[in-house]
Amino acid sequence: DTGVSQDPRHKITKRGQNVTFRCDPISEHNRLYWYRQTLGQGPEFLTYFQNEAQLEKSRLLSDRFSAERPKGSFSTLEIQRTEQGDSAMYLCASSQDREGGYTFGSGTRLTVV
Amino acid sequence: GIQVEQSPPDLILQEGANSTLRCNFSDSVNNLQWFHQNPWGQLINLFYIPSGTKQNGRLSATTVATERYSLLYISSSQTTDSGVYFCGGSNYKLTFGKGTLLTVNP
């Protein structure tokens, strides 16, 4: 297993465009998390899935954000009508169960111009 | 929600020195982890340590769950130890502190 994969590594987009990020977790992990990190801050929780069920969404996640995990495998995070404030590193992590250690991917760095 | 406070915010060491990083939690947690963020932004899991003490080479960690804090010890530091260290705690999803920026000079 190669760990958690995220694609793309970098994304530059114009304000108002839609973007979609993909995360492939470790195959035997049933929990998948999305976090956002801005400069000088720790990662902030966005949402998480257990298998295909999205169990919680942070209040940080406006209605422009949507996440899916079809069939409990990979996950996508879509941001519609991007704003400059969306510029950040988007991190995906997976864990085997509720109390398992997290494995993070390398992240997707989004720049909205 | 849980509040996580890390100290110190910044730490500068000479190679070979030892250091202790601290993480305090506002409430009890049953999942506590330490991470190192490398210069490329990836978070590397160092320890999953809800309680007790663990060691991995020059790094060790201790969590005192009843007093809601955890310590990360780095011994004989190397320049490759530089980066940001985060702790995260949760009852089902990790909440992170703001990190400790460690700089190890040769």
**Whether A99 and B50 lie within 8 Å, measured CB to CB:** yes
Smallest Cβ–Cβ distance between B30 and the set A45, A56, A99 belongs to A99
**Which whole number is the average pLDDT over B5-25?**
97
B89 or B16, higher pLDDT: B16
Q: Residue holding tokens 């899991």? A: B45
- The verdict on A107 touching B (C-beta cutoff 8 Å) is yes
**pLDDT tens per residue across all 113 residues of chain A:** 579 999 999 999 999 999 999 999 999 899 999 999 999 999 999 999 999 999 999 987 889 999 999 988 999 999 999 999 999 999 999 998 766 789 999 999 999 99
- The verdict on A48 touching B (C-beta cutoff 8 Å) is yes
pLDDT at A1: 56
**Whether B92 and A98 lie within 8 Å, measured CB to CB:** yes
For residue B70, what are the β-bridge partners?
B23, B63
Domain ranges of chain B: 4-101
Cβ distance A22 to A37 under 8 Å? no
**Residue type, position A44, single letter:** E
- Chains A–B, number of C-beta pairs less than 8 Å apart: 54
Superfamily of the domain at B4-101:
Immunoglobulins (2.60.40.10)
pLDDT at B103: 96
3-state secondary structure of B66: helix
Exposure string (b/e) for B34-73, b if CB count within 10 Å is 16 or more?
bbbbeeebbbebbbbbbeeeeeeeebbbbbebeebbbbbe
